[in-house]
């Protein structure tokens, strides 16, 4: 793990000693096996790198801090096979998190990701998932106070006989929280994608805004996509939407491009690029677009 | 209770009760065997735990068969107490005006059935299921329980064991029945189960619109309505099946409905759920051959102490098939509405399109709305889209309506009726008016 002066590092024990009342301790650290806490105390751009450890990872952004984190996971590292990552964004803080998780093709990875945001805080997560023979993600996105925002923009590339399972909950228990999750993916060959999303709006969560979208492009005759976007709403002062789509490359668009001289394969690749780039359309996700282009080129070969 | 019955089975369910029902109906041996086999399946299956709570439903405290009166085809011959119930519901009057035929089921048996001569002359059959079995044994045997087998789910097994009444509809090839056939189901006694079984067969090129209505008076104890409805739409046939369910809040409404659509056939479920304590109903269409189309339009209104767990399923088994599902729900006074659905496309299909839209309206902070859709697609050339939203009555809409002189209650009712317009638009005019009235009743006292 590399470090800068803007971040402080703690083992679980050290963190508990220093911040015994931090909610992260009771909620996550005490029940974990072992892990590392990265405490971002000042505005920073920070890059994580993984060593050969199965430790969990807790990232805290201090109140009012603006931080950008790059979490580009090494395909060769065993470290991230069974890992829980918890991101805690304090009041008024802003975090932009770039995650590329591309485990080695034969890896079986079961991971957990939690993003918890306090009042007026904002977490934006850009994620790209590719690789692994069986990758499972269990995610929780929670807002803890008025004005908390969680934005997730994710893409996945699944091919051969790979399995990709993504289970996510957008949890609204207090008023004035906003969550917005968009996940798009391509399933090729005989790949298997399972998406389980749920928006939970509690009885006290007035003024919540929640959006959940999952879109899939299937380009393999034997590829299977199962998508279950769910809503559970107990408050009427909310705006909640979800959408899911499973489709294939638009034949009319293919014809349009082919008529302009592109080979069908090239045209299809172009359309898939367009489909996925939309996920990383934000200006601050430009590096994710570059990483996606690289992965997509390999994927489509 | 002052009513007398021709036959009433003891409460609870066992082989003896099932055999008695079959003997009462003088059924062929294969049907008795089918019932007993289904009973064993019912007993071996656990109660479903994935939906609403069914723990208050006591299967041992239900009368599974109750015959009130023999069947007639003239309202004047129906016993006065039963006739008055259906007159109060407006059934005989509707029959005169705009229906091709009417069936009325009271408790376990159909007590009235009539089909206008014009359709009978063209070979259309509209009878109760028991008469269908007697008069068209080969046809019934060919299709009965092939679309919903007894082992499909616990309540399909229960219905298969104790079914009674329901409709048997047969529309010959090329016959277009351009007026609706209506069946009305009434549970009048407390602690009774109604288990009608309906089979509709539309031969190639035919068309039929079947409408069912349901109601029951409120008792302190629970009743159970567990129907099985099977539809077969053969090549280029069209079946529209409309349900207006307005059970009282002591009725558990646990229904299995499924249709098979063959080449270029069209099946439409128009499903209105207004009453009951718990409804679990997910009308399904299996698109078996190319060109088949399905449409499901539903509305669920959950008021105080009600759970409407409704939805739709479409299974695409062939290329060049399409489906649309539009589900609307309204939750009010603490009611819980859930949409639960499935769109599935099997491997190797081409040119398949499916569209699902679920809109929920939450009218107060006590109520709840859930959406549990599932999409399963294998292979490319399949396009499935799902959208859902949950919202409340907007203050802007209310202000607009009130500034034009409407009271808050009327303004809310107007907005809610607008919300379900896509559903009422699909109904015959008389039903659309009735639905708007039902909504207004459900909304009473909901202001503030």
Contact A240 B390 (CB under 8 A): yes
Per-residue pLDDT for B446 more than 60? no
Q: Are B133 and B27 in contact (CB under 8 A)?
A: yes
Least confident of A153-157, B163-167, B183-187, B305-309: B183-187
Q: Which residues pair with B231 in a beta bridge?
A: B200, B259
Quick one: closest CA in A to B385, which residue?
A245
pLDDT tens digits, B241-289: 999 888 888 899 999 999 999 999 999 999 999 889 999 999 999 999 9
**Residue B3 confidence class, pLDDT cut points 50, 70, 90:** low
Across the interface, of A222, A239, A244, the residue whose CB is closest to B391 is A239
Query: How near does any CA of chain B get to the CA of A97, in Å?
Result: 28
Q: Does B381 contact A224 at a Cβ distance shorter than 8 Å?
A: no
ipTM for the complex? Answer: 0.89
Cβ contact (<8 Å) for A244 and B363? no
Residue of A233, A239, A271 to mutate, testing the B interface (most B Cβ within 10 Å of its Cβ):
A233
Tell me which residue in B373, B380, B390 faces A229 most closely, judged by beta carbons: B373
Give the chain A residue whose CA is nearest to the CA of B390: A240
Q: How confident is the model at residue B422 (pLDDT cuts 50, 70, 90)?
A: confident
User: Is the pLDDT assigned to residue B200 strictly greater than 70?
Assistant: yes
Residue listed under structure tokens 């007159």 = B87
- Closest residue to B390, CB basis, from A229, A231, A249: A231
- Model's pTM, two decimal places? 0.91
pLDDT confidence of residue B109? 79
Residue of B332, B375, B392, B415 to mutate, interface with A, max A Cβ within 10 Å: B375
Question: How close does chain B come to A144, measured CA to CA in Å?
Answer: 20
Neighbours of B5 (CB within 10 A): 17
Average pLDDT over residues A221-237: 94
Chain A nearest C-alpha distance from B437 (Å):
24
CA distance A18 to chain B (A): 42
Decide if pLDDT at A251 tops 70. yes
pLDDT bin (cut points 50, 70, 90) of residue A54 is low
Comparison of pLDDT for B352 and B221, the residue scoring more:
B352
Q: What is the mean pLDDT of residues B326-351?
A: 95
CB pair distance less than 8 Å for B384 and A246: yes
- From chain B, pick out residues whose CB is under 8 angstroms from the CB of A218: 377, 379-380, 382
The mean per-residue pLDDT over the stretch B184-201 comes to 88
pLDDT at A283: 83
Confidence of residue A51 (pLDDT cuts 50, 70, 90): low
The C-alpha of A298 sits at a distance from chain B's nearest C-alpha, in angstroms, of: 21
In this prediction, residue B416 has a pLDDT band, given cuts at 50, 70 and 90, of confident
Write the DSSP string, A244-289: EEEE---HHHHHHHHHTT--HHHHHHHHHHHHHHGGG-SGGGHHHH
B445, pLDDT greater than 70: no
The shortest CB-CB distance from B386 to any of A219, A240, A244 is to A244
Q: Do B365 and A242 touch (CB under 8 A)?
A: no
Q: Determine the average pLDDT of the residues in B6-23.
A: 89
Over residues B357-410, the pLDDT tens digits come to: 999 999 988 999 999 999 999 998 899 999 999 988 888 889 999 999 999 888
pLDDT at B14 over 80: yes
Q: A221, B384: Cβ pair inside 8 Å?
A: no
**Chain A nearest CA to B438, separation (Å):** 22
Position A46 pLDDT exceeds 80: yes
Of A66-80, B150-164, B168-182, B417-431, the one with minimum mean pLDDT is A66-80
Q: How far is B213 from chain A (nearest CA, A)?
A: 30
Contact call for residues A242 and A213 (beta carbons, < 8 A): yes
pLDDT digits (tens, 9 = 90+) for B89-112: 777 777 777 777 887 888 887 878
Residue B440 has pLDDT above 80, yes or no: no
Q: What's the pLDDT band for B344 if we cut at 50, 70, 90?
A: very high
Q: Which residues of B179-206 are buried (b: 16+ CB within 10 A; e: fewer)?
A: bbbbbbbbbbbbbbbbbbbbbbbbbbbb
Give the CA dihedral B46, B50, B51, B54, nearest 10 degrees: 30
The Cα B445–Cα A185 span in angstroms is: 48
- Partner-chain residue, chosen from A219, A222, A244, that has the shortest CB–CB distance to B347: A222
Tokens, residue B57? 């439903």
Chain B residues with CB inside 8 Å of A188's CB? none
pLDDT above 90 as % of chain B: 61
Most B CBs within 10 Å: which of A159, A185, A246, A253, as the mutation test of the B interface?
A246
Q: Note whether B325 and B343 are within 8 A (CB).
A: yes
**So what's the pLDDT on residue B371?**
95
Chain B CA closest to residue A243: B387
Q: Which residues of B touch A244 (CB under 8 A)?
A: 373, 375, 384-386
Please indicate whether, in this complex, the C-beta atoms of B371 and A242 are within 8 angstroms of each other.
yes
Q: Do B374 and A220 touch (CB under 8 A)?
A: no
Q: Do B368 and A232 touch (CB under 8 A)?
A: yes
């Amino acid at each position: 793990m590399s470090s800068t002066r803007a971040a402080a590092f703690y083992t679980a024990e050290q963190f508990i000693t220093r911040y015994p009342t931090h909610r992260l301790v009771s909620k996550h650290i005490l029940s974990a096996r072992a892990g590392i806490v990265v405490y971002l105390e000042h505005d920073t751009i920070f890059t994580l790198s993984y060593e050969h450890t199965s430790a969990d990872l807790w990232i805290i952004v201090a109140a009012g801090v603006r931080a950008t984190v790059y979490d580009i996971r090494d395909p060769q590292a065993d470290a991230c096979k069974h890992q829980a990552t918890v991101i805690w964004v304090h009041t008024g803080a802003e975090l932009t998190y770039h995650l590329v998780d591309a485990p080695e093709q034969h890896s079986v990875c079961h991971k957990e990701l939690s993003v918890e945001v306090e009042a007026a805080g904002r977490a934006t997560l850009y994620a790209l998932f590719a690789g692994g023979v069986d990758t499972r993600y269990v995610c929780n996105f929670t807002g803890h106070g008025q004005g908390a925002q969680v934005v997730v923009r994710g893409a996945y590339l699944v091919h051969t006989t790979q399995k990709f399972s993504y289970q996510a909950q957008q949890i609204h228990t207090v008023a004035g929280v906003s969550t917005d999750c968009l996940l798009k993916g391509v399933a090729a060959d005989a790949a298997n994608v399972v998406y389980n999303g749920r928006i939970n709006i509690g009885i006290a969560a007035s003024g919540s805004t929640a959006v959940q979208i999952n879109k899939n492009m299937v380009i393999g005759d034997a590829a299977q996509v199962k998508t279950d976007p769910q809503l559970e709403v107990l408050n009427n002062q909310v705006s909640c939407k979800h959408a899911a789509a499973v489709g294939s490359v638009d034949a009319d668009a293919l014809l349009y491009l082919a008529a302009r001289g592109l080979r069908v394969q090239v045209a299809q690749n172009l359309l898939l690029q367009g489909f996925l780039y939309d996920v990383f359309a934000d200006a601050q996700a430009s590096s994710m677009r570059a990483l996606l282009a690289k992965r997509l080129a390999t994927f489509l070969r | 209770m002052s009513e007398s019955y021709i036959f009433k089975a003891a409460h609870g369910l066992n082989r003896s009760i099932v055999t008695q029902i079959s003997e009462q109906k003088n059924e062929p041996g294969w049907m008795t065997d089918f019932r007993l086999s289904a009973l064993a399946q019912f007993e071996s299956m656990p109660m479903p735990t994935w939906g609403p709570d069914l723990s208050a439903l006591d299967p041992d405290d239900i009368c599974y068969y109750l015959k009130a009166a023999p069947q007639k085809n003239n309202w004047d011959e129906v016993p006065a107490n039963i006739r008055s119930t259906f007159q109060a519901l407006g059934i005989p009057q509707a029959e005169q005006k705009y229906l091709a035929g009417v069936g009325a089921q009271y408790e376990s048996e159909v007590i009235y059935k009539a089909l206008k001569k014009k359709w009978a002359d063209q070979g259309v059959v509209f009878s109760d299921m028991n008469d269908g079995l007697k008069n068209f044994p080969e046809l019934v045997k060919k299709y009965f329980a092939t679309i919903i087998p007894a082992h499909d789910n616990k309540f399909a097994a229960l219905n298969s064991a104790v079914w009674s009444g329901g409709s048997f509809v047969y529309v010959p090839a090329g016959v277009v029945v351009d007026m609706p056939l209506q069946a009305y189901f009434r549970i009048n006694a407390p602690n009774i189960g109604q288990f009608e079984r309906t089979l509709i067969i539309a031969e190639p090129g035919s068309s039929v619109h079947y409408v069912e209505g349901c109601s029951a008076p409120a008792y302190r104890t629970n009743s159970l309505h567990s129907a099985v409805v099977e539809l077969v739409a053969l090549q280029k046939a069209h079946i529209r099946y409309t349900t207006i369910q307005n059970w009282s809040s002591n009725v558990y409404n646990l229904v299995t409905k499924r249709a098979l659509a063959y080449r270029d056939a069209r099946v439409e479920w128009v499903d209105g759920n207004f009453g009951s304590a718990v409804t679990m109903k997910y009308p399904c269409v299996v698109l078996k051959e190319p060109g088949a189309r399905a449409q499901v339009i539903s509305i669920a209104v959950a008021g105080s102490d009600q759970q409407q767990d409704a939805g739709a399923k479409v299974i695409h088994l062939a290329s060049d098939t399409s489906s649309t599902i539009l589900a609307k729900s309204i939750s009010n006074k603490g009611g819980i509405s859930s949409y639960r659905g499935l769109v599935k496309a099997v491997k190797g299909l081409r040119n398949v399109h499916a569209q699902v839209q679920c809109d929920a309206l939450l009218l107060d902070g006590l109520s709840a709305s859930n959406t549990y859709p599932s999409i399963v697609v294998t292979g490319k050339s399949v396009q499935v889209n799902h959208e859902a939203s949950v919202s409340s009555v907007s203050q802007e809409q209310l202000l607009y309506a009130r500034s034009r002189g409407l009271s808050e209650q009327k303004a809310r009712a107007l907005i809610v009726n607008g919300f379900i317009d896509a559903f009422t638009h699909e109904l015959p005019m008389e039903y659309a008016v009735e639905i708007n009235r039902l909504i207004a009743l459900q909304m009473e006292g909901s202001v503030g």
